[in-house]
């Protein structure tokens, strides 16, 4: 090993260049966090924020497909309003035990 030569300097320089390139790319396309914070406005510093087309397509897909069965929600609301909604303690207990066993099984593995 030669005195005065540091191989880590080259590695550090390469990492710095890589980080700078990633930051430049994020500035061009915008990040999801920026899009959420901006909500269609400019950032606090007055810098315009753009949302990439892939994020826009994810948003459109989320709006098109719903994980909630709105017909069932409306039926439950109507049953609660009418006073006909019945809670099954047995079904709740069974689901709680099933969830607990899944949780405990995951902890043990």
- The verdict on pTM exceeding 0.75 is no
Q: What is the pLDDT of residues 35-52, one digit of tens each?
A: 555 555 544 567 888 888
Q: What is the pLDDT of residues 74-87, one digit of tens each?
A: 999 999 999 999 99
DSSP state of 50: -
DSSP state of 67: S
Tell me the residue length of the chain: 109
Query: Residue 1: its pLDDT value, please?
Result: 46
């Amino acid at each position: 090993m030669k005195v005065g030569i540091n191989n880590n300097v080259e590695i550090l320089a390469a990492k710095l260049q890589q980080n700078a390139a990633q930051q430049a790319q994020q500035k061009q396309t915008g990040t999801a966090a920026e899009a959420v914070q901006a909500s269609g406005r400019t950032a606090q510093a007055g810098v315009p924020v753009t949302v990439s087309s892939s994020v826009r397509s994810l948003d459109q897909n989320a709006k098109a497909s719903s994980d909630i069965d709105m017909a069932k929600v409306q039926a439950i609301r109507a049953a609660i309003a009418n006073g006909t909604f019945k809670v099954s303690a047995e079904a709740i207990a069974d689901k709680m035990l099933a969830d607990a066993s899944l949780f405990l099984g995951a902890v043990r593995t």
